[in-house]
Amino acid sequence: MTIGGTRTAFMVTDFIEGSTLDRWKPAAFADKLRVATVLAGALAVCHATKYIDALGFQAQGVFHGDIKPSNIMVGANGRPVIIDFLQVDVHRLIDPSIVDPELLTSRSATDTLGTPGFMAPEQERHGIITESTDIYSLGMTLADLFSGSVAWFVARRDVSLELAKLIDGMIAPDPADRPRRMADVNAALAAMA
């Protein structure tokens, strides 16, 4: 859009009345499990999405790259919404001058794509964003959701053995030890519900 002779890019989003996941603290375990299942289901759909890339090839998988409690809004109706989805990619597609293409290939870009403490080791070290890195980040987010903090989750284990085993697998340092697909995480959470 051109405003006052200057080309201006902007993004319009829905207003979500509610709070971020890190501030949303329901008492009922069932509410937390329902939110976790919805999040895994939404990410599974994103990861299975097929599209035509910039070169005209069919590609599969839309990844978030920065799943964390503050990037999830829980509406007043209790429905979670993932926010800040692919922000760098959106800006790059709108106009390469907004995010310098050289920045996206530099080491500093990998420092800014994700959040320490929620990024998978391979994402933090190499800037790799895959389905497996989203699984890791969701696992860290779920540890925080169910226990109030990742450290508390690891130390106390005040969730069912089945849920603890799933989250432990999701946050495994080696991607080969994590669930293979987000759809598998979603199915496991749905079975617990």
CATH number where 113 lies: 1.10.510.10
Q: Which of 28, 34, 21 is nearest to 145 (CA)?
A: 21
Q: What is the pTM of this model?
A: 0.83
Average confidence score pLDDT of the chain: 85
In a domain, 126, yes or no: yes
In a domain, 91, yes or no: yes
Q: How many domains does the chain have?
A: 1
In a domain, 8, yes or no: no
Structural domain boundaries, residue 92: 27-192
71 contacts: CB under 8 Å, gap ≥ 6: 20, 64, 82, 83, 84
pLDDT band at 108 (very low <50, low <70, confident <90, very high): very low
Average pLDDT over residues 111-136: 88
Average pLDDT over residues 56-74: 92
Please give the pLDDT value at position 109: 45
